[in-house]
A and B are shown apart, each in its own frame.
Chain A
Amino acid sequence: MLSYAIRRMLILIPMLIVISFFIYSGLELMPGDAVSYMIDPEAAAEISPEKLDALRDSLGLNDPFVLRYVKWFGGVLKGNFGYSLSSGVPIRDIVFDRLPATLELSFIALILSTIFGSVLGFISAIRKGSIADNTLTIVGMLGVSVPQFVFGLVAILIFSLKLKWLPVGGRLMPEYVTYWDRFPHIIMPALVLAATMTAGVMRYSRSSMLDSMNKEYIKTARSKGLPEWRVNLVHGFRVALTPVIVLVGFRLPTLIGGAVVIEQIFQWPGIGNEFITAVRGQNFPLVMMIALFSVFAVLIASFLVDLFTAILDPRVKLG
């Protein structure tokens, strides 16, 4: 297991280099550059090409593509992630400023959706064909098919504007001191995000549980006279969780960029919004850093999924 883990971690390094190069190349293919985004189109008419060129020079945008990549990657190796081309703020500060907001939102949504999705899927499976199963199936389908922004806007309309129970958006306010002051702000975005994620987990959990309940080891457990709850929970549900874990594992990377819609609707100052702004503005040091985080998260998630699958399912051997 340890050698497997070390091997997987070592493979990450060349993968990160190759993927980062591809992302950098992709940015290069986009029309324009950071300067063309910074300058308003009307203002651009008044600025001499020489001045624009000097600005590009000062930001290092006139260097050849490969040289820029090497410079950037060299900086990353030294722990220097660069500066935002638009604001001049160190990338590290921006990422560490925005990332906690997104992780806070996404982790809560992930935990809620995993717990509720698994449990509801389990109930739906063991009550197959019942009213509860049919209701949950319909709710699950709705959850999967209705876009997040619809959920979000309806929630704002009901809970913020009509009932006035929760704030309409944002994360912090000047007068807040403790976490509990700002806790009301996260309830709605986290629940809306969790609701859409729960539906997927529930569908996976249900079908996996149904599949598991027809297996020989379940029949064996029953033949040993074990109580039904134990058969379902310990022998059925545990194995049925394997595909759910895979699903949840692969959702880990989306913790960084997967809540963009929710962030926009609820004015949540997360990294997702920052990423979109950075891509539009071709703020490549920031794009690269957020992208690297995402890539790293995908690779780590993939590794963790393998690890947990082996732990949960005795038939799986790591090698």
Chain B
Amino acid sequence: MSLINNAFPQYVNNNYFIGEKMEKLRVFFISCLLVTMAFSLWAGGQQEDKMESGTKIEGLNSNPLSDFRVRQAIAYAVDMDTIVETLLEGKALVADSMVPNGPWKTPGLNAYSYDPEMAKKLLKEADWDSNYTLDVVFYYGDQLTVDIMTAVQAYLSAVGLKMDFRKLEGDLGEQLWTNPSDPVNGPSYIKWDMAYAGSAALAMHEYYGKLPTNGSGNSHTPSDPEIDRLVAATKATANIADQQSAFFELQKYVNKNLPLIPLYYQQLFIYESTRVNRNGGAYGNAQYKYDWNILNWSVTPDASGKEVLYTNTAPVEFFQHPWFNPGIFMYSKVLFDSLLVADEALVAKEGQLASKFSVANDSMSISFTMNDAKWHDGSALTAGDVKWSVEYALQVPAIHSVFATTFKSLEGAQAFIDGSADGISGLVIEGNTITFNFAKLDPNMMLTFSQFPPLPKKYFETADPLQFQQNSFWQNPVGSGPYKVQEVQMNDYTVMVPFESYYGGTANIDEIVMYPSGENDGNVIKNASAGKLDYGFTKSVADVKSLEAMGNMRVTPVDIPYTRLFYVNKFPKP
């Protein structure tokens, strides 16, 4: 009896076996139960053997999506190859991992290629309730998203999965990413079953940041010690080979269990008019900053002999600060320099604002010696500006998560955030050298230093960091890059001209004229057709088709780390 009590404690309290008189019958029941139990264990083993992928079913709860077989069925049920070829016009790649193709992707992952029969089989094994309707949400406002949702709905319906979809409105952060109060058992705070979203990563770690227990934004995945261990392993070393190895293991586990379902890798398309010559400048992820040789770009001169480059993303209301999007806007790229500069693969390669730098052997410290850079107002850019920028950045509402992680890893950062210290003790200035001392290893610190631009302290000294973006500085910012703002007609145009005191020399193009047209709006095609757009980038497949058809434009596709996926809510729902 004690064996039964131990194995099935739920049975103990209901006196199931407390018979009154028939000991033989009791023994018979026990025997039957033991036989049944033994058979179940054997059958379970057989079932596991039959499973082509996945591990034993752990963490099952009242939410049917907590069963990995259901998630696998969803992946098998959707024909992403066809969706990519048709709706995305072949301008994307089918994803089998969050990590994009390249050195960080492990080989041998299950691609979950379209197999509706396998999907049906898995759903049957998981005892899927065909009356259940999946609630799928998204937050994009474009027609393509609705088309993709409609296609997914049809594919799922074909294997017996009902699905409704809706666009979230209002406080998206709360509705998408609020963690449950109990990260193990839930219930979830969020209401949805699956969320269609995009993950644009600067560092590979960002792809899996929402999976660990209490991970920021983990609204959907119950605590899984194996995920915690694997994610921690990716952050435990600054050695690239070791990081890659850790990512391989993590990808394999995620590929088997599908806590989230990768759909496709979005590509980025850089378009340039035939007037533009990069003179050897590299093509890379245009959403971030890298060495693209902008100083030496040239444009066919106009009648007056002036080289004018027309581009888009001029500010409409204000210049967006570069601490959240360091390079997505043309102005961010050319107005602000960083301590280091990255190559087109976003790997830090040499100093930019730093004339030299040195990293400690254990990667727990890095020193930068500032060059003689000046702000666009002519004043000197100092190590003090850098220190102030890091400290101020930790107080503003939204900065890039990679930057935040780096700065929070500094010695004394937590005390500064808590308010118990006036500054970050890990930031040490000696003359024109600033040293960053870390309390814990940050594998992405070089990435941070090649993307994070310091800002001039004097313009913000009395400003409330909470209203950083609302500061009047962002109406006409003073930067440190090769171009400076000459004229701003907000929502009309912005003109930038070479900064004559730039430490790297004077840029070749005489003027950069920016229109407020955004990355994906319809004016891109009109302006390009009219010869008023020389450079830009887009992820809109419809625009790419039109741009490719223009004789005066050339389009260069670039693989970027941008994965579209379904986040899957696996917590019991309230």
- A interface residues (Cβ-Cβ under 8 A, vs B): 30-33, 36, 38-47, 51-52, 54-55, 58-59, 83-89, 94, 97-98, 156, 160-161, 167-174, 267, 269, 273-274, 277
Contact (A174, B513) CB under 8 Å given A89-B318, A167-B530, A168-B529: yes
Q: Does B317 lie within 8 Å of A86, measured CB to CB?
A: yes
CA distance A59 to B466 in the complex (A): 9
With a CB–CB cut-off of 8 A, which chain B residues contact A51? 397
Q: Does B495 lie within 8 Å of A45, measured CB to CB?
A: no
Distance in Å from the Cβ of A58 to the closest Cβ of chain B? 4
Q: Does A170 lie within 8 Å of B515, measured CB to CB?
A: yes
With a CB–CB cut-off of 8 A, which chain B residues contact A54? 397, 466
CA distance A88 to B470 in the complex (A): 4
Distance in Å from the Cβ of B24 to the closest Cβ of chain A? 62
Contact (A36, B470) CB under 8 Å given A97-B490, A174-B511: no
Least CB separation from B464: chain A residue: A58
Q: Does B324 lie within 8 Å of A40, measured CB to CB?
A: yes
Listed from nearest, the 6 A-B pairs whose CB atoms lie closest are A44-B173, A31-B170, A45-B217, A88-B470, A32-B170, A36-B171
CA distance A87 to B467 in the complex (A): 9
Q: Does A45 lie within 8 Å of B487, measured CB to CB?
A: no
Q: Does A46 lie within 8 Å of B318, measured CB to CB?
A: no
Q: Does B398 lie within 8 Å of A174, measured CB to CB?
A: no
With a CB–CB cut-off of 8 A, which chain A residues contact B441? none
CA distance A94 to B491 in the complex (A): 11
Partner of A47 from the list B200, B397, B493, B517 (CB cut-off 8 Å) is B397
With a CB–CB cut-off of 8 A, which chain B residues contact A59? 467
With a CB–CB cut-off of 8 A, which chain A residues contact B148? none
With a CB–CB cut-off of 8 A, which chain A residues contact B404? 46
Contact (A45, B469) CB under 8 Å given A32-B169, A156-B526, A267-B523: no
Distance in Å from the Cβ of B133 to the closest Cβ of chain A? 22
Q: Does A277 lie within 8 Å of B469, measured CB to CB?
A: no
Known: A43-B398, A168-B532, A170-B493. 18 other contacts (CB 8 A): A38-B398, A39-B397, A40-B324, A41-B139, A41-B176, A43-B324, A43-B401, A51-B397, A54-B466, A88-B472, A160-B526, A168-B529, A170-B492, A172-B493, A174-B487, A174-B511, A267-B516, A274-B491
With a CB–CB cut-off of 8 A, which chain A residues contact B210? 45
Least CB separation from A282: chain B residue: B170
Number of A-B contacts (CB under 8 A): 134
With a CB–CB cut-off of 8 A, which chain B residues contact A33? 171
Distance in Å from the Cβ of A182 to the closest Cβ of chain B? 10
Q: Does A36 lie within 8 Å of B176, measured CB to CB?
A: no
Distance in Å from the Cβ of B524 to the closest Cβ of chain A? 11
Q: Does B173 lie within 8 Å of A41, measured CB to CB?
A: yes
* Cβ-based interface call for B316 (8 A): yes
Q: Does B492 lie within 8 Å of A98, measured CB to CB?
A: no
Least CB separation from A31: chain B residue: B170
- B interface residues (Cβ-Cβ under 8 A, vs A): 139, 169-174, 176-177, 197-200, 210, 216-217, 316-318, 324, 397-398, 401, 404, 464, 466-467, 469-472, 474-475, 487, 489-493, 495, 511, 513, 515-517, 523, 526-527, 529-530, 532
Partner of A44 from the list B172, B317, B513, B523 (CB cut-off 8 Å) is B172
With a CB–CB cut-off of 8 A, which chain A residues contact B217? 44-46
With a CB–CB cut-off of 8 A, which chain A residues contact B491? 97-98, 269, 273-274
Distance in Å from the Cβ of B475 to the closest Cβ of chain A? 7
Contact (A172, B492) CB under 8 Å given A47-B397, A86-B470: yes
Q: Does A89 lie within 8 Å of B475, measured CB to CB?
A: yes
Least CB separation from B138: chain A residue: A41
Least CB separation from B517: chain A residue: A267
With a CB–CB cut-off of 8 A, which chain A residues contact B511? 174
CA distance A39 to B466 in the complex (A): 13
Partner of A168 from the list B197, B317, B530 (CB cut-off 8 Å) is B530
Q: Does A52 lie within 8 Å of B316, measured CB to CB?
A: no
With a CB–CB cut-off of 8 A, which chain A residues contact B318? 86-89
Least CB separation from A269: chain B residue: B491
Q: Does A41 lie within 8 Å of B487, measured CB to CB?
A: no
Q: Does B177 lie within 8 Å of A45, measured CB to CB?
A: yes
Q: Does A47 lie within 8 Å of B170, measured CB to CB?
A: no
CA distance A16 to B464 in the complex (A): 35
CA distance A32 to B516 in the complex (A): 26
Q: Does B401 lie within 8 Å of A88, measured CB to CB?
A: no
Partner of A161 from the list B198, B464, B529 (CB cut-off 8 Å) is B529
Distance in Å from the Cβ of B350 to the closest Cβ of chain A? 29
A-B pairs with beta carbons under 8 Å apart, 12 shown: A31-B171, A36-B171, A38-B398, A59-B467, A87-B474, A89-B317, A89-B318, A167-B530, A170-B492, A172-B493, A174-B487, A267-B515
Q: Does B495 lie within 8 Å of A174, measured CB to CB?
A: yes
Distance in Å from the Cβ of A268 to the closest Cβ of chain B? 10
Contact (A269, B174) CB under 8 Å given A40-B324, A40-B398, A160-B530: no
CA distance A86 to B491 in the complex (A): 14
Contact (A87, B493) CB under 8 Å given A33-B171, A267-B516: no
CA distance A59 to B490 in the complex (A): 23
Q: Does B469 lie within 8 Å of A38, measured CB to CB?
A: yes
Distance in Å from the Cβ of A168 to the closest Cβ of chain B? 4
CA distance A52 to B216 in the complex (A): 14
Partner of B398 from the list A47, A161, A169 (CB cut-off 8 Å) is A47
With a CB–CB cut-off of 8 A, which chain A residues contact B526? 156, 160-161, 168-169
Least CB separation from B308: chain A residue: A174
CA distance A156 to B177 in the complex (A): 44
Q: Does B176 lie within 8 Å of A44, measured CB to CB?
A: yes
Contact (A46, B401) CB under 8 Å given A36-B172, A174-B511: yes
CA distance A40 to B517 in the complex (A): 19
With a CB–CB cut-off of 8 A, which chain B residues contact A41? 139, 172-173, 176, 197
CA distance A55 to B467 in the complex (A): 7
Distance in Å from the Cβ of B452 to the closest Cβ of chain A? 15
